[in-house]
Amino acid sequence: MSVESVFPRLEALLPHVQKPIQYVGGELNSTVKDWDACDVRWALMYPDAYEVGLPNQGVMILYEVLNEREGVLAERTYSVWPDLEALMREHSVPQFTVDAHRPVKAFDVFGLSFSTELGYTNMLTALDLAGIPMLAADRTLEDPIVLAGGHAAFNPEPIADFMDAAVVGDGEQAVLDMTEIIRAWKAEGRPGGRDEVLLRLARTGGVYIPRFYDVEYLPDGRIARVVPNRPGVPWRVSKHTVMDLDEWPYPKQPLVPLAETVHERMSVEIFRGCTRGCRFCQAGMITRPVRERSITGIGEMVEAGLKATGFEEVGLLSLSSADHTEIGDIAKGLADRYEDDKVGLSLPSTRVDAFNIDLANELSRNGRRSGLTFAPEGGSERLRKVINKMVSEEDLIRTVATAYGNGWRQVKLYFMAGLPTETDEDVMQIAEMAKNVIAKGREVTGTNDIRCTVSIGGFVPKPHTPFQWAPQLGVEETDARLIKLRDAIRGDRKYGRNIGYRYHDGKPGLIEGLLSRGDRRVGAVIRAVYEDGGRFDGWREHFSYDRWIRSAEKGLAGTGVDVAWYTTRERQYEEVLPWDHLDSGLDKDWLWEDWQDALEEVEVDDCRWTPCFDCGVCPQMDTQIQVGPTGKKLLPLTVVNQ
């Protein structure tokens, strides 16, 4: 049975909201398929505003992978701003997709991709607007399967009450496998109802169904155990890993936004995973092993993407793009190929020890020469050993001297505050490093017209990292440290004027910490925040610390635990962590040993170039590190006769 578009009702509301274009759909390369010709239908959501959600690579890839499959359709939905939310409630317009403006409740699967935990309240808004019961236990056959994915799904326990399923790891093959299970169940007449299809998904070992697991607690509030409550449900759920990226050259037809978005470029993921071993970095840990896309595969994706979009910039994405074994040849080959078209290249940021001027020149050859971004992360040499960021101040000064000497005038340095074992002295070293950078820049350029921007974010301990046991620094201590650093930078008459300083206060980080290491009891807090008006918590102007603390007192009443218990408390080895039954491939003993190495300031090398350190991923996931070089060059596509 066809599902009607809600656009006629929505259209009347659009003149009364800001940026109505974001709700219209019809972007270049978007897809609208015949509803009746498909038997499995997905609504995909990045739970944030259109301008943030549309460029998201994960959603864009799954959208295309699913729509390529016969009899399957996928449409996109994003969070609506509060002005439209109010009008939708007033006029009974449900949460809709932007592709065909179909109601989200009509789909078989409502899949949400969480890169940050601060999107959880937006999920509850979407569920409520869609008319889908907020609690998974209250849903019927007429409701979609609510599925969580993305990096935050590696600990989905805080939203366990609201979702039916979670997938950890790479989504490409996972969504296709789930589609076939749902298709077969529907073709059989949906036997056994909602429980049966969820049970079939659970039995694959790669889809986590929270309702099939009971959590038992100790008297002191810690978890005693997490145990399956159905036969055939695995004790641990495994992550998905796509091994050959060249077999998945997505997106082939990247979406071109109608409204301004945070990234106005065509992006290609050049490799997945990272084995640098930065102990704070969840993304690096959970995406192991390293899997490189071939230089020719990258070239083909760039060529197809530029033809399909008309963008004038290509982002070469990964967790550490300069670490690709053929990054020099990739950058030169692309710069040569698109020199006449003036297509610019960009990397998200550059590792200090991977930077070289040839690479930088190739990246800026066809585009504008913007600032360079480096991430030392820790202010002192000692702290960089703790976090396993093997970069010395001498390396940094030498690198920025090369950059300033070759025409760059702006360098951005990114650090974190609140790292384990950090002291005031470690943080004050950031000011000294910034001053040394400016001094060296003046020396090599002979001019005072250079800039260094120091940007600082708060450290949040994350699941599946060596720091998952670490205490988080409290709000007051974080803010006091950052104010002291600000005063040290601004109070320096010789260099202060050339140093920009940006920092985030500790409040959002503490709430992110509550959500990242929380268990099922935190779900009541999220719901209380939502009911108190919480929306767009990742946006500074919408975030309310007081609302979260107020809601935590309400939601955690009677549990014996509080915000501090989840955040500033150090965990011990024997404690059962809320995510232990979700298998990222990392051996828990190895993570603990790395945590002990951190406390002893012991550095560990990158296992790409050294013997294996037994993190567990390759044997446990039956995977392996995949790196080049391939020995191939990225030649121009056509021969030009002179």
CB 522 within 8 A of CB 515: yes
3-state secondary structure at position 274:
coil
CA pair distance 397, 418, nearest whole angstrom: 24
- What pLDDT was estimated at residue 642? 41
- What pLDDT was estimated at residue 368? 66
Phi-psi region of 436 (alpha: psi -120 to 50; beta: other; left: phi over 0): alpha
Q: For residue 369, count other CB atoms closer than 10 A to its CB.
A: 16
Task: Let me know if residue 217 belongs to a domain.
Answer: yes
CA 216 → CA 108, 199, 220, 521, distances in Å? 32, 22, 12, 12
CA pair distance 473, 471, nearest whole angstrom: 7
For residue 267, list its beta bridge partners: 315
Task: Let me know if residue 34 belongs to a domain.
Answer: yes
Q: pLDDT per residue over 305-342, tens digit each?
A: 999 999 999 999 999 888 899 999 999 999 999 988 88
Peptide bond preceding 254 in cis form (omega within 30 of 0): no
Is residue 224 predicted with pLDDT exceeding 80?
Answer: yes
pLDDT band at residue 246, thresholds of 50, 70 and 90?
A: very high
Which of 148, 237, 198 shows the shortest CA–CA distance to 523?
148
3-state secondary structure at position 266:
strand
Q: pLDDT per residue over 359-390, tens digit each?
A: 888 877 876 666 788 889 999 999 999 999 98
Q: Which value, to the nearest 10 degrees, does the dihedral of the CA atoms of residues 490, 495, 497, 500 take? A: -70
Q: State both tokens at 94.
A: 């449900």
Q: For residue 71, count other CB atoms closer than 10 A to its CB.
A: 12
CATH of the domain at 101: 3.40.50.280
Percent pLDDT > 90 in the chain is 80
Q: pLDDT per residue over 61-70, tens digit each?
A: 999 999 999 9
Task: Let me know if residue 173 belongs to a domain.
Answer: yes
Length of the chain: 642
Is residue 626 predicted with pLDDT exceeding 70?
Answer: yes
> Cα dihedral sign for 134, 135, 138, 141?
positive
Pairing, β 237-238 against β 223-228: unpaired
- What pLDDT was estimated at residue 641? 40
- What pLDDT was estimated at residue 366? 75
Query: Which residues form the domain of 17?
Result: 6-238
Q: Exposed, middle or buried: residue 274 (CB in 10 Å: 0-12, 13-18, 19+)?
A: buried
- What pLDDT was estimated at residue 519? 98
* Per-residue DSSP letter, 591: H
- What pLDDT was estimated at residue 512? 97
pLDDT band at residue 286, thresholds of 50, 70 and 90?
A: very high
Phi, psi dihedral angles at 336 (to 5 degrees): -65, -45
Q: For residue 6, count other CB atoms closer than 10 A to its CB.
A: 19
Task: Let me know if residue 67 belongs to a domain.
Answer: yes
Task: Let me know if residue 225 belongs to a domain.
Answer: yes
Is residue 620 predicted with pLDDT exceeding 80?
Answer: no
CB 433 within 8 A of CB 378: no
Contacting residues for 584 by C-beta, under 8 A, at least 6 apart: 154, 168, 169, 239, 285, 286, 464, 617
Q: pLDDT per residue over 411-459, tens digit each?
A: 899 999 999 999 999 999 999 999 999 999 999 999 888 999 999 999 9
Is residue 639 predicted with pLDDT exceeding 50?
Answer: no
CB 415 within 8 A of CB 393: no
**Residue carrying the six token digits 């550490």:** 320
* Coarse DSSP helix, strand, coil percentages of the chain, rounded to the nearest 5 percent: 40, 15, 45
Which of residues 492 and 111 earns the better pLDDT score?
111
Q: DSSP readout, 161-212?
A: TT-SEE--B--HHHHHHHHHHHHHHHHTT-TTHHHHHHHHHHTTSSSB-GGG
Average pLDDT over residues 148-176: 97
CA pair distance 344, 354, nearest whole angstrom: 20
Q: What is the mean pLDDT of the chain?
A: 93
Phi, psi dihedral angles at 471 (to 5 degrees): -75, 145
Contacting residues for 200 by C-beta, under 8 A, at least 6 apart: 181, 185
Q: State both tokens at 485.
A: 């650093």
Task: Let me know if residue 509 belongs to a domain.
Answer: no
Say how many domains are in the chain. 1
CA pair distance 276, 610, nearest whole angstrom: 11
Amino acid code (one letter) for 255: L
Q: b or e along 102-122 (b: 16 or more beta carbons within 10 Å of the residue's beta carbon)? A: bbbbbbbbbbbbbbbbbbbbb
- What pLDDT was estimated at residue 44? 98
Is residue 351 predicted with pLDDT exceeding 50?
Answer: yes
Percent pLDDT > 70 in the chain is 98
CA pair distance 501, 413, nearest whole angstrom: 10
CB 488 within 8 A of CB 535: no
Q: List the alpha helices (DSSP H) in 92-154.
A: 120-130
Helix (H) or strand (E) run with residue 76 in it? strand 72-78
CA pair distance 156, 69, nearest whole angstrom: 28
Which of residues 625 and 81 earns the better pLDDT score?
81
- What pLDDT was estimated at residue 638? 47
pLDDT band at residue 635, thresholds of 50, 70 and 90?
A: low
Which of 125, 210, 233 shows the shortest CA–CA distance to 527?
125
Q: State both tokens at 590.
A: 């190895």
Task: Let me know if residue 228 belongs to a domain.
Answer: yes
- What pLDDT was estimated at residue 374? 87
Task: Let me know if residue 478 belongs to a domain.
Answer: no
- What pLDDT was estimated at residue 640? 39
